[in-house]
Amino acid sequence: MSLPAGSTIGIIGGGQLGRMLAAAAARLGYRTVVLEPQPDCPAAQVANRQITAAYDDQTAHAELTAASAVVTYEFENVPVAAANALASTAPVYPPARALEVAQDRVTEKTFLNSIGIPTADFRPVGNDSDLTAALKAFAGNGVLKTRRMGYDGKGQRVFRNMEAGGFAGTFEAMGSVPLVLEAFVPFEREISVIAARGIDGAVAAYDPAENVHRHGILHSSTVPAGISAETAAAAQAAAKTILSALDYVGVIGVEFFVLADGSLLANEIAPRVHNSGHWTEAACVVSQFDQHIRAIAGLPLGSPSRHSNCMMENLIGDDVSRVAELLGEPDLMLHLYGKAEARPGRKMGHFTRISRRA
C-alpha cells in the first residue's frame, strides 16, 4: 500500500542529502521531519520540522517514529541497533541489514564476494604484524583503511612498492581501531551506479557515472562514463543483484573500479542517495531523490532514463565564489545547500551542466 499524500516522512540526518530528500518528498505531496543535532541544518531549512537532538537520542527516536509514517536516513553511520529499534515502531528504509553491511569494509567485501561480485583482495588488520603479513601478500602495494566510519578518503593510507616490514606504530597512528588492507587496484577509471528497489521488488538503475576524486572527495561525475556498453550493463546488473540480496527498499549508490580490460571490482556501497547521483536531478525526469521517496512510500519507481549528457561538479569551500559566473551559463543547474560558512573541504553546493541528446 502506498503512503497517502500528506503523510510525514522522518529523515535521520540534516545535511544536503536530507535537504534534497525533503524537497523531493514535498514535491510528491509529503511532509518531513528531520532528526539532526545541528540547529538550522540544511535539511531543516526546507523540511516541515526539525527534532534537534543527537542521532542516537532515544527520546528523539520516539518523537520521530510517533510523527512519521516511514523513516529513512541520509548517511550510513546510523547505529544498526537504533535502526532496528526504530523499525519496531515505524517502517525503516533502507533496511538495517544494509547499514550493517555498509558500515564495516570487511563485512561489506565479504558480502559482495558471497553474492558473486568481485572486490579488491583484502585482509583484516588488527595490529602491526597483521599489516606486515598483509602487505607481503600484496607485494608491498595496498590501501590501509579503517574498517568503520571512513568517508571521503578519511582514515586511509596508501603503500606503494614498499618492502613488507618495518611498519611498527602504523596501527597506533591509525587510531588503534580495526583496519583492513586492500590490494592496490591499478584502475583505469572509477564509476558508480545509482539504483533503486521498490517495496514490490521492482528495480531501476541509472546509467553509470564516471567519477573523479580530489583529495579523497568527489570532484565531478560525468555521464556517460567512458566505458563500453557491456561494462555499463555489468555495473547495473551488479547493483541490482545487491539490491535483491539485501531485500532493499530505496536508493543505493555502488562504486566500482574499472580495470584496463573493462572488468569491474566493487569498491563500496552507500545505502542512501549519493553525491555521484546528483546529476540525475538535471538529466533525468525522475531524480535519485524522487526515486528514493517513491520507493520508500510504496509508489511505482520512475524511469531512470536520461534525456541529456551531463557533468556534475561539487562546489567545495571557496568554490562557492564561482556562483555568479556559473549562473551566466546556459543549460547549467545550480544547487546550493544553505550552509552559512564556506570552510575548506565543506560541500557547499554543486552544479550540473547538461548537453541534450540528439
Residues that bind ligand AMP (CB under 6 A): 120, 143, 150, 153, 182, 184-185, 190, 213, 216, 267-268
d(CA 42, CA 338): 5
In terms of CB distance, is 50 or 192 closer to ligand AMP? 192
d(CA 200, CA 298): 8
Length of the chain equals: 358
d(CA 356, CA 331): 9
Smallest distance from the beta carbon of 283 to ligand AMP, in angstroms?
22
d(CA 68, CA 220): 35
Smallest distance from the beta carbon of 244 to ligand AMP, in angstroms?
24
CB atoms within 10 A of CB 327: 10
In terms of CB distance, is 76 or 290 closer to ligand AMP? 76
The set of cell numbers assigned to 168 is 611498527
In terms of CB distance, is 60 or 101 closer to ligand AMP? 101
**Alpha carbon 152 to chain centroid distance?**
10
Smallest distance from the beta carbon of 213 to ligand AMP, in angstroms?
5
The set of cell numbers assigned to 127 is 595490529
d(CA 342, CA 319): 9
**Alpha carbon 12 to chain centroid distance?**
15
Smallest distance from the beta carbon of 126 to ligand AMP, in angstroms?
19
Smallest distance from the beta carbon of 31 to ligand AMP, in angstroms?
34
* Nearest of 245, 145, 238 to residue 185 by alpha carbon: 145
In terms of CB distance, is 251 or 296 closer to ligand AMP? 251
In terms of CB distance, is 269 or 295 closer to ligand AMP? 269
Smallest distance from the beta carbon of 104 to ligand AMP, in angstroms?
13
Mark out the alpha helices in the chain (DSSP H runs): 16-27, 58-67, 80-87, 96-103, 105-114, 128-137, 170-173, 229-245, 280-283, 288-296, 323-327
Give residues with Cβ within 8 angstroms of 181, minimum separation 6. 122, 123, 125, 130, 131, 134, 135, 138, 142, 143, 144, 145
Smallest distance from the beta carbon of 154 to ligand AMP, in angstroms?
8
In terms of CB distance, is 24 or 265 closer to ligand AMP? 265
In terms of CB distance, is 183 or 354 closer to ligand AMP? 183
